[in-house]
Homo-oligomer: A and B are copies of this chain.
């Protein structure tokens, strides 16, 4: 599949989609209960100011708009068109629109790619018709778009049963039904979606392309999306980079963990991770904030729309309940946030302000007494935020129906006077209080643990921004090199040369076809040594009983050679056995796996994880897209569950992270320079305080030597 995002963004088409000067509705009807009837009603209701052209041979007039029998008879080329006719009639309609000069068509109709072979054929015909006539397609099988700023309610979504709410969020969804639900939930909590776009089957225009364009709108501060599958990785990466550049956070929910292309490639760790782990790594690398679900997405979106990102991980928790504070502290620790002890000065200042039953540490417990004097809350938050160890404050309390005005005044005063961000968790708050705070641009939420999830999201974005701003990352070719599926292992010595030339440290090794040569080699390289079977048909040497370790004498070497040759023949009858590899035993260290993959979506990706048997069950590996920046490596390591191993445990010294970074950088550069290399596995890699060295390697190439 070619990546549609590799092309230049068609700004004029997306402008026409969301800022149309005129709209035709092909198959229009006056019945507001029908999907082909709704858009006209909505456009009129929401004050769309462009020209509206119903097209339907059966009517002369549709709800007061003059109706045309066909596209040809329209008085002008409509800037945008909605196609709401049966699937089999869509191609003709789009062709007519294209010939007329329409820039883009939204195709509501279902019955395309989602409907088996016939539908896929129809989808190809649709795309051909568009390509031939120059019109672009949004859809098919989608429920339209909304530009709430300009009354462009070009949709049949139930969300538009009520007029859309203007706001600083651009939201796009591949799913119509789920997208509608998310938009409605957003409205219920007072979050305005300035734009709502459903891209359906994405036969042409993709979700990420639309968001790329919408980010440019000054009225938009945050982009959010619901994704099922990525049609255009290049566009996603451009979008992510633009989001960082413009300081407009990008929040994505992506479902599905099925690997789009699980390859049966012969490799040690090939089944470790499907595309989702790669997506996750690439998203983190590019500063995309991934939301687990619709609720998390809306929590984050509301926070980004109102709060600045903290400058660091230090959280002050200020509550009327020690219990809620403990729950938040637990969660903060889980998410890598810090609840630093406040400075002595800060504590002294707090002690003068808070009631005698209160606790001036962090969390700060004001007890319920603060209601008697709301100023206590204002002062406490100010004092805590003034401490240099604190980057963001969380204020938690519940109910207080009788003190809504006082509390709102507290937060207005805080918003006016503090520079660092704060978030409010108000359990079972009166609805009016929530509405008022939201109007004032103060983030408020009603669930204790989700408050900390939001703080972690704000922090992750802040971190990404500091890491990525001002860096330029060279592009890469995400397209899969051809023949990757049938890549074959390179001989170990040839593979070793390639990797060593690339700057990747491997243990010494030489090839032998007989026991005596092997013994001589072992003497030369140093003993104890290892003997491993060498066969293009046996990539997994251990599984074929083809490895002997810790051989201390030339006799043991000779015996091992005979052993592994015999075992290999027995293990796999008919395998081509080339001989054996002899290696000196390396000084062991922390076991890692390092690898290169060609991801079907993102192209070359570098993997690092903890080695040993547990890697296969805990799957504690992480990915990033090549080429890496050095700053990506700490991020990769941070996301390993067992990262503490690298920092040294049980008296072992910490792993040399500089050397590890060098290896990952070298592998990443190698990946970009060598499209013929389909996969590399370095497993195990021994990481020590004085460097890292790979003791086994497998290189799959589409150009085997």
Contact = CB atoms under 8 A, between A and B. Distances in A.
A301 to B, nearest CB: 15
Contacts of A331: 293
Contact of A181 (B177, B226, B427, B449): B427
Given A177-B321, A357-B111, A428-B181, A228 B447 contact: no
Contact of A294 (B182, B226, B228, B447): B447
Nearest to A591: B613
A118 to B, nearest CB: 11
Contact of A324 (B181, B542, B612, B613): B181
Nearest to A552: B552
A592 interface: no
A618 B644 CA distance: 8
B330 A256 contact: yes
A330 to B, nearest CB: 6
Contacts of A255: 323, 326-327, 330
A1 interface: no
Given A111-B357, A158-B398, A188 B428 contact: yes
A510 interface: no
Sorted from nearest, which 9 A-B pairs have the closest CB atoms? Answer: A175-B323, A181-B398, A184-B428, A177-B321, A181-B427, A617-B644, A255-B326, A178-B323, A293-B449
A398 B319 CA distance: 35
Interface stretch (A212-220, A343-351, A645-653): A645-653
Nearest to A543: B651
Q: Chain copies in the assembly?
A: 2
B357 A185 contact: no
Given A614-B614, A617-B642, A427 B185 contact: yes
Nearest to A449: B293
A542 B651 CA distance: 10
A184 B426 CA distance: 12
A460 B233 CA distance: 40
Given A159-B399, A182-B427, 5 more contacts: A158-B398, A543-B651, A610-B614, A613-B652, A617-B641
A114 B397 CA distance: 20
Interface in A151-189: 158-159, 161, 173-182, 184-185, 187-188
B178 A324 contact: yes
A256 B293 contact: no
Contact of A177 (B110, B324, B590, B651): B324
Interface in A224-262: 226, 228, 253, 255-257
Contacts of A614: 610, 612, 614, 618, 642, 645
Contacts of A178: 321, 323-324, 327, 398
Q: Which of A114, A292, A322 has the most chain B CB atoms inside 10 A of its CB?
A: A322
Given A177-B321, A616-B649, A617-B644, A161 B401 contact: yes
A320 interface: yes
Interface in A315-372: 319-324, 326-327, 330-331, 333, 356-357, 367-368
Contacts of A86: none
A320 B177 contact: yes
Contacts of A226: 323
A115 interface: yes
B159 A228 contact: no
Contacts of A378: none
B114 A292 contact: no
A248 B301 CA distance: 39
A448 B294 contact: yes
Interface string A354-398: 001100000000011000000000000000000000000000011
13 contacts: A110-B367, A114-B357, A115-B356, A158-B400, A159-B399, A161-B402, A175-B324, A178-B321, A180-B399, A292-B449, A293-B331, A613-B645, A616-B650
A567 B178 CA distance: 66
A32 B599 CA distance: 67
A177 B398 contact: yes
A549 to B, nearest CB: 12
A72 interface: no
B322 A228 contact: yes
Contacts of A617: 641-645, 649
Interface string A97-117: 000000000000011001100
A450 interface: yes
Interface string A272-293: 0000000000000000000011
A60 interface: no
A295 interface: yes
A319 to B, nearest CB: 8
Interface in A577-617: 590, 610, 612-614, 616-617
Contacts of A319: 177
Given A293-B449, A617-B649, A645-B617, A181 B228 contact: no
Interface in A607-640: 610, 612-614, 616-618, 620
Q: Which of A174, A184, A331 has the most chain B CB atoms inside 10 A of its CB?
A: A184
Interface in A429-460: 446-450
A399 B181 contact: yes
Contacts of A187: 428
A613 to B, nearest CB: 6
A651 B571 CA distance: 13
Contacts of A590: 613
Given A184-B398, A645-B613, A295 B449 contact: yes
A97 B231 CA distance: 75
Q: Which of A295, A450, A643, A651 has the most chain B CB atoms inside 10 A of its CB?
A: A295
Nearest to A178: B323
Nearest to A397: B177
Contacts of A179: 323
A187 B428 CA distance: 9
